[in-house]
Amino acid sequence: MQVSVESLGNLERRMSFTLPAERLDTHIGGRLREIARTARIKGFRPGKVPAKVIEQRYGPQVRAEALDGLLRETFDSAVREQALELAGSPRLEPAGESGLEWVATFEVVPDFGDVDLSKLNVIRHTAEVTDADIDQMIENLRLQRRTFTPVGRAAQQGDRVAVETWSQAGDERLPAEGIEKGATLIGSGVMYSGIEDALVGLAKGEERDITVDFPADWRVAQLAGRQVQVYLKVTEVSEPVMPQVDKDFARSFGVKGGNLEQFQADIRSNLERELKGALMTRLRREVGEQMIAAYAHVEMPPKVVESEARAMLQQAVEQAQRNGQALQAPPNAHENFMDPARKRVLVALLVGVVARSNQLRLDPKRLNETLRLIASTYEDPEQVIELYRNDPQLMQGLQGRVMEEQVIDWIAERAQHTEQALGFQEAIRQ
């Protein structure tokens, strides 16, 4: 195999290589013969279709598939032969009309030198789920399932209040005509806190006028940073009715038979799963910050960093859209993400270097445990497990995640580390 590599910069390389023509022809010929044995084409008996017809009908597709497979195989072999460590995906382009000469442009992993993990100083947080945490979660579930009953008394904290409003901001009336109807749970912050506070003490049918100084960053642009007269009229006051923690309550969360002990056990299991994920996120951040501080001087591959910045921008846009915001990002918006993207790339590449240099391999037991942990959150865990095992892309993503966590754990064990105990609520607060 003919291979040549040239440097286009500190970390960018261009590789020229040639595909083995004999292997390509052999693969194409073998595949066409396989097709000929089973192909059904009108006017010919199965297995008796002339080779020329098979070539005309299936040749281009078979050649394209064979070329793609051989291209990837040859490039990967050349990378291993040249002892190169790629930092991102290569750009592959044909270099001639024969389809056998190719050029690959890519960036390589920078030289981090001798990675001395003992210089890192990591805080490893610990926490556990207590009975008090379970009681608090049950109380939260009761709040989620509460109902509201209309009452004749004045509104107080925790009540749901239906209200009609209109506002006067200088010469501008909002809405221009009529009123706005809405509802809020006093203390929830659905409405501006000054408005919710003014509803306390009002019964159905009562009105109140108040002056509100809205903050400059208020979500309603016409009111932001302005002093506004707000007119309120309560149309209904409802008090919360909390459900009892009984068999029916437990059944409503999928506990067969309404067994309260099983209900609490399920809650503990869910909280422990959430806690495990939160502690790993904290450890990943701790190790990442130490790596960034220790290796901030190392040059990162610029195209990989830019690609990561664009991906982070896309995630931000999609999240904004899910939140109901019509966000239109300008062409250079990814530049705002370049610094965090560089840090993310640095950590990812360094984790890869540690894994390779120490010959770390994916732990199948850890992979299965993580898969079962994910599946346990669904109604039919076995169906989810089967889905992952039959979807290479899903499984590849899971393997990458588990391998990263495995390496992070390995690094933390060999770094200088101290343990810091947290309460459950503090631990899961990111």
- Supply the pLDDT for residue 402: 93
Domain boundary residue among 183, 206, 241? 241
Residues 285 and 213 both lie in one domain: no
Whose tokens are 């979807």? That residue is 391
pLDDT, tens digit (0-9, with 9 covering 90-100), for 374-385: 888 787 889 999
123 Rama class: left (phi>0) / alpha (psi -120 to 50) / beta? beta
Asked whether residue 20 falls in the same domain as residue 103, the answer is: yes
Same domain flag for 230 and 323:
no
Q: Which two tokens stand for residue 159?
A: 């009540």
Q: Please give the tally of structural domains in the chain.
A: 3
**Residue 39 pLDDT level (bands cut at 50, 70, 90):** confident
pLDDT at residue 282 is higher than 90 = yes
pLDDT of residue 137: 95
Q: What is the CATH number of the domain that holds 94?
A: 3.30.70.1050
Q: Is residue 77 part of a domain?
A: yes
Check whether residue 287 and residue 407 sit in a common domain.
yes
Name the domain boundary from 241, 268, 292.
241
Q: What is the pLDDT of residue 1?
A: 62
Provide the strand spans (E) within 76-159: 91-94, 101-107, 121-126, 147-150
What is residue 44's predicted lDDT score, i.e. its pLDDT?
A: 80
Same domain, 220 and 333: no
Confidence of residue 148 (pLDDT cuts 50, 70, 90): very high
Residue 414 and residue 304 share a domain: yes
The token duo for 429 is: 């607060």
Assign residue 387 the CATH number of its domain. 1.10.3120.10
Q: Is residue 139 part of a domain?
A: no
Q: For residues 211 and 100, state if they share a domain.
A: no
Lowest mean pLDDT among 48-57, 60-69, 122-131: 48-57
Are 20 and 83 members of one domain?
A: yes
Q: In whole angstroms, how far apart are CA 119 and each of 37, 289, 359, 417?
A: 64, 13, 21, 10
CATH number at residue 229: 3.10.50.40
The edge-to-edge listing of strands for the beta sheet with 3-7 is 3-7, 12-18, 101-107, 91-94
Same domain, 192 and 226: yes
pTM: 0.74
Is 350 within the bounds of a domain? yes
State the burial class of residue 124 (Cβ atoms within 10 Å of its Cβ: 0-12, 13-18, 19+).
middle
pLDDT tens digits along 78-121 = 999 999 999 989 999 998 777 788 999 999 999 998 888 888 89
- Mapped onto helix, strand or coil, the DSSP state of residue 307 is helix
Query: Are 123 and 258 contained in the same domain?
Result: yes
How much of the chain, in percent, has pLDDT values that exceed 90? 65
Does the pLDDT of residue 325 top 80, yes or no?
Answer: no
Domain for residue 263, yes or no? yes
Tally of CB atoms within 10 A around 348: 16
Is the residue at 246 inside a domain? no
The total of other beta-carbon atoms located within 10 Å of residue 197's CB is: 14
At residue 141, the pLDDT reads: 95
| Segments forming the whole domain that contains residue 237 | 147-241
Would you say the C-alpha torsion 47, 53, 57, 62 has a positive or negative sign?
positive
Same domain assignment for residues 297 and 372: yes
Is 141 inside a domain boundary? no
Q: How confident is the model at residue 412 (pLDDT cuts 50, 70, 90)?
A: very high
Residue 138 lies in a domain: no
Q: Does residue 194 sit within a domain?
A: yes
**Are 295 and 152 within one domain?**
no
